[in-house]
Structure 1
Amino acid sequence: MSQQVNATSVTRNVGWSVLSKTSTFGLKFVTVPILARLLTPEEFGAVAVALAVVQFLAMIGGAGLASALILEPKEDEETIHSVFWANLALACLMAAGLYIWAEPLADWFGAADAAYLLHLMCLLIPLQLAGDVAYALVARRMQFSKDALWSMISESVAAIAAVIMALAGFGIWALVTQLFVSGVIRLAGLFFVSRYLPRLRFRPRAVARLARYSLGLMGSEIANFITFQSPMVVISRFLGLADAGAYSAANRFSSIPNQVVLSAVMGVLFPAFSAMMHDRERRSQALMLSTQVTTLLLAPMMFGLWALAEPSMLLLFGPQWAAAWPVLGLLALSKGLLTPCSTFIPYLKGSGHGGALFWWAVGRAVVTTGAVAYGAYNGSLVEAMVALCIVNALVLVGYSWVVFRADGTPFLVGFYPSIRPMLTAALMAIVVRYTLDNYLALHVHTVLQVGFGIVLGGVIYAALVLLTERPLLRKLLELVRRPKPQTAASLP
């Protein structure tokens, strides 16, 4: 890597990444409800199921080669070009297979009407994988500040295009257009930032060497993907496209805070932890600091959304979605329970604990899929979401044990500080929810309920954080004030 990796550089790059995601937060906050008002639950469900299949195959097609490239000691041109062409070849094979088997796949997922979407959206696989090498180079060089602008442009233009098409009456094609516009602009931005141009060079030995690492990593990635996407597939198969659409809309909205914070943090932390692989003390400090900070930022958003789910669903999504507010609330709660785990995947990947990551990811995928399937098969969408919350509460404890054991940190010494901001956010949300239900729900307009809840929650959370997290706040203030290093040293 061309830049020294330390707490200051990690904090700075996380800041740039979070800024790029935050800049699109307001736009997504508006566009997701607008699209939900203009489109039907069935349309949301069809695109969500098709996208889940596409993303799964894209992950297999990439085979983790780009992630292995990040860990290389130096940038070797032949290796980089070899990975690009290997990725592109696998992507084209996956796209062709999806096009041929689109109808039986759609029927198996309980979404036979979505087969035509799979025929078109298979093109997203090479579109996504063509940028993997360029992103790996950006991550190696810790150039997230340069990548931030293109990320903002791609998300913003795609969201605006989707809303315009939905308003013009194009229906489901608005969502499809959003995916393709975002993918094309994102790909162009990655090539521009990384200054990478593919050349006709291919060295099979280089790909085979990286594959030994990447195949093990790919197994954990697939298991994690199944964990996150299996609820959509299960709901579509057992409960139908309408419930899948309700889940998709609520999940997209409740995932906005994760997209703002987690996608930025995880992209930076993987190469950072990789650079600290052989420095346990510095790695442990980075793990604890990053875990506390992400929990401090994410937990109030997720638990606050749980507290305001009912008025928010009615206000933002409209009457046709109002009955789905428990789904939004339970999804926010399930995500809130996992906020302390936000840094665990990049930590295990970057610190050389791929085996622990793989077996934990497989177990988590099996339990999550089984619990949601049990809830959906024996009840309704709400019961499936309750099952997801129970599983995630257990995952929080188990995942923390796995990571702190791998780090050599006593469980309670690491666990309590990492969940303390989450407990503070939960207390804040309970107070807000109680106040709304008992004093405002019957007498105050929905808009005022949401506004009052946000203000009340912000005041309560800020006061509690000042009481419980003063050491963390002082540490963050020191990092912000610390001058930027003037020299850069390559890391082995």
Structure 2
Amino acid sequence: MLSLPRQKLIHHVVRGAAALGVRQILVIALNVAGSVLLARLLSPTEYGLFAVVTFVLVFLTAFGDVGLGASLIRSAQEPPKQTYHAVFSAQLMITLLMGSLVMLLAPVLARAYGLPAEGAWIFRLIGLSLPLAAIQASPQVQLERRLAFDRLAVVEVAQALVFNGAAVTLAYMGWGAVSFALALLARSFTGALLAIWLSAYRPRWRWDVALLRPHLKFGLAYQGSNVLAVVNAAVTPTLIVAFFGLNGAGMVAWATGIVGYLQQPLLLFNRLLYPTFSRLQNPRDLSHFSNVAYVATAVIFYGVLALVWSNTPQFVQVIYTEKWLPALPLLYGLSLAALFVPMSIPNGALANALGLAGLVFRINVARSVGFWILMYIAIRLTDQLWAFVIVQAVAEWIHLALYLRLRRDVPGLNAPASQVPVLLSAAVAVVCGRSLSLGELEAPQALAIAVLLSGLVYLTVLGLLSVMLARMMPTSVYGRLWKWVRRRKLVNGEGF
């Protein structure tokens, strides 16, 4: 898609966001339902193995992508089909090599995690899944360039349905950890088939280094940051397993998974912001879009976090059963450590759109090195799982370095002014929910009342603060949003 006028671009963004948003709800619902059912069916040890299997696939997929698809999305002009073919061929070759290596080392990996001989099939199935991810990548790039998020959402909903349905069914039938690998294989096959069907792109083999070279510099830096995020996630299947076994890894994976699912609604923005920012050239437009994105991500994440915190023990007991209550401190700590997430998602998309992938990569390198060193030292000194939470929280502060740099390049960015009112509203809602005396009620009733009250308080306080800020500071992001609400127009002569 070529560069669009501002109003037409906004129209495409809103239409795509609406379509993707509706379908993203289905994806979130399916993933959450699958996670809950697996947590109820499996022991913490089995859940820890599930986390290991999922990590291995994500880790290898991140290395196989090399960021070429992201470079194509950023391109101002529509790349020729020959470039798409070259990118597809490179990704397919890399994933075929990596998949073959995983299949060869499958018995060694199975022994490393204390699995019986048949456990090697888990890693063989993962090796088979990798090339399918490469086949899916290029069609997805074309859909993202056209902001065809409605079609992308169809792919994601189908993948979520296939994976969760297969994993839960096979786990219920007693297939154990092999059920996870089979579900991942089915998910990858479904995604590749649907992405090709719904896009105009048909994969063709073309090995052409000259076509790849212009995209490698940005792509490697961009994907390097993603790989580093995956490397940080390797703490669970490595250090946590080594010091606390699969049971400890299961507890960490469960708490991390819940916090991750609370962030699932933000995936809409993560997918939407990067191609949108890439087509905006005016710094004023970029600052306006970014500040609105800060508000939107904060409203969603802090809102769902407030609902969970309103009565967390009953939340765990009713939904996940009492066997997960020992992991409650981990859930509290990781929730607090994630408070920077609503700011980091727009920051990352904006930085990559401005061509600052190298800077993002260097910051993430510093974060990863410090994270692993501090994690090892903290676990060795304390021999306690809470050390994982403390180091995770400390590592998140490095996101401020990227934000400070972006403020130099895009004047008008103001994440604190955009997000602090939302965070205060969520804090008030949590206090109100926690202050209720519901000890004499059954857990389901206590949870329902606390969630309902917290939700009402959150929306009320947020609405009052927003109106007050809009009237006091008409040029702020809240003032602009209030003008939009009143006029029921997306753009006007003054911006948002």
If the length of structure 2 is used for normalisation, what is the TM-score? Answer: 0.87
Residue 474 of structure 1 pairs with residue 479 of structure 2? no
CA distance in structure 1 between the partners assigned to 2:105 and 2:302 by the alignment: 41
C-alpha displacement at 1:105, in angstroms? Answer: 5.3
Going from structure 1 to structure 2, the CA distance change for 1:41 and 1:283 (only over 3 Å counts) comes to same
Going from structure 1 to structure 2, the CA distance change for 1:220 and 1:76 (only over 3 Å counts) comes to same
- Match runs of 1:56-455 below 5 Å: 56-72=59-75, 73-104=77-108, 116-259=121-264, 261-276=265-280, 278-377=281-380, 378-392=382-396, 394-395=397-398, 397-409=400-412, 413-433=414-434, 435-436=435-436, 439-440=437-438, 442-455=439-452
Paired residue type of 1:423:
L
C-alpha displacement at 1:224, in angstroms? Answer: 2.7
Contact 2:88 2:204 in 1 (8 A): no
Gaps of 5+ in 1: 484-492
| Deviations 1:306-350 (CA, angstroms, capped at 9, x unpaired) | 343321111111122222222223223322342222211111111
Structure number with greater CO (CA < 8 Å, separation at least 6) is 1
Going from structure 1 to structure 2, the CA distance change for 1:35 and 1:237 (only over 3 Å counts) comes to same
Q: Of 440, 448, 459, which residue of structure 1 is paired with 2:456?
A: 459
Identity of aligned residues (%): 21
C-alpha displacement at 1:78, in angstroms? Answer: 0.7
C-alpha displacement at 1:288, in angstroms? Answer: 1.1
After TM superposition, the structure 1 stretch with the greater mean CA deviation from structure 2, 278-287 or 26-35, is 26-35
CA distance in structure 2 between the partners assigned to 1:347 and 1:357 by the alignment: 11
CA distance in structure 2 between the partners assigned to 1:479 and 1:241 by the alignment: 56
Gaps of 5+ in 2: 471-477, 492-496
C-alpha displacement at 1:15, in angstroms? Answer: 2.7
Going from structure 1 to structure 2, the CA distance change for 1:232 and 1:18 (only over 3 Å counts) comes to farther
Q: Of 19, 22, 31, which residue of structure 2 is paired with 1:19?
A: 22
CA distance in structure 2 between the partners assigned to 1:306 and 1:264 by the alignment: 23
Paired residue type of 1:383:
A
Number of aligned residue pairs: 473
Structure 2 equivalent of residue 489 of structure 1 = none
1:195 alignment partner, SS class? coil
Structure 1 equivalent of residue 474 of structure 2 = none
CA distance in structure 1 between the partners assigned to 2:33 and 2:91 by the alignment: 35
| Deviations 1:374-402 (CA, angstroms, capped at 9, x unpaired) | 4433232233223323433x245444323
Contact 1:38 1:166 in 2 (8 A): yes
2:276 alignment partner, SS class? helix
1:12 alignment partner, SS class? helix
CA distance in structure 2 between the partners assigned to 1:385 and 1:63 by the alignment: 30
CA distance in structure 2 between the partners assigned to 1:35 and 1:284 by the alignment: 42
CA distance in structure 2 between the partners assigned to 1:430 and 1:296 by the alignment: 17
| Deviations 1:173-193 (CA, angstroms, capped at 9, x unpaired) | 332233222222222221122
Going from structure 1 to structure 2, the CA distance change for 1:100 and 1:19 (only over 3 Å counts) comes to same
CA distance in structure 2 between the partners assigned to 1:198 and 1:28 by the alignment: 29
C-alpha displacement at 1:478, in angstroms? Answer: 6.5
C-alpha displacement at 1:80, in angstroms? Answer: 0.7
C-alpha displacement at 1:43, in angstroms? Answer: 1.9
Structure 1 equivalent of residue 473 of structure 2 = none
Going from structure 1 to structure 2, the CA distance change for 1:11 and 1:381 (only over 3 Å counts) comes to farther
| Deviations 1:4-29 (CA, angstroms, capped at 9, x unpaired) | 36334323322322221212333333
1:122 alignment partner, SS class? helix
C-alpha displacement at 1:136, in angstroms? Answer: 0.8
CA distance in structure 2 between the partners assigned to 1:92 and 1:323 by the alignment: 42
Paired residue type of 1:155:
A
Contact 1:292 1:340 in 2 (8 A): no
Going from structure 1 to structure 2, the CA distance change for 1:420 and 1:232 (only over 3 Å counts) comes to farther
| Deviations 1:27-80 (CA, angstroms, capped at 9, x unpaired) | 333332221121122222123123223222221211111111112312301111
CA distance in structure 1 between the partners assigned to 2:78 and 2:292 by the alignment: 28
If the length of structure 1 is used for normalisation, what is the TM-score? Answer: 0.88
1:142 alignment partner, SS class? coil
Going from structure 1 to structure 2, the CA distance change for 1:479 and 1:414 (only over 3 Å counts) comes to farther
CA distance in structure 2 between the partners assigned to 1:448 and 1:367 by the alignment: 44
2:79 alignment partner, SS class? coil
1:201 alignment partner, SS class? coil
CA distance in structure 2 between the partners assigned to 1:173 and 1:397 by the alignment: 41
Contact 1:85 1:202 in 2 (8 A): yes
After TM superposition, the structure 1 stretch with the greater mean CA deviation from structure 2, 62-71 or 245-254, is 245-254
C-alpha displacement at 1:82, in angstroms? Answer: 0.9
CA distance in structure 2 between the partners assigned to 1:205 and 1:137 by the alignment: 21
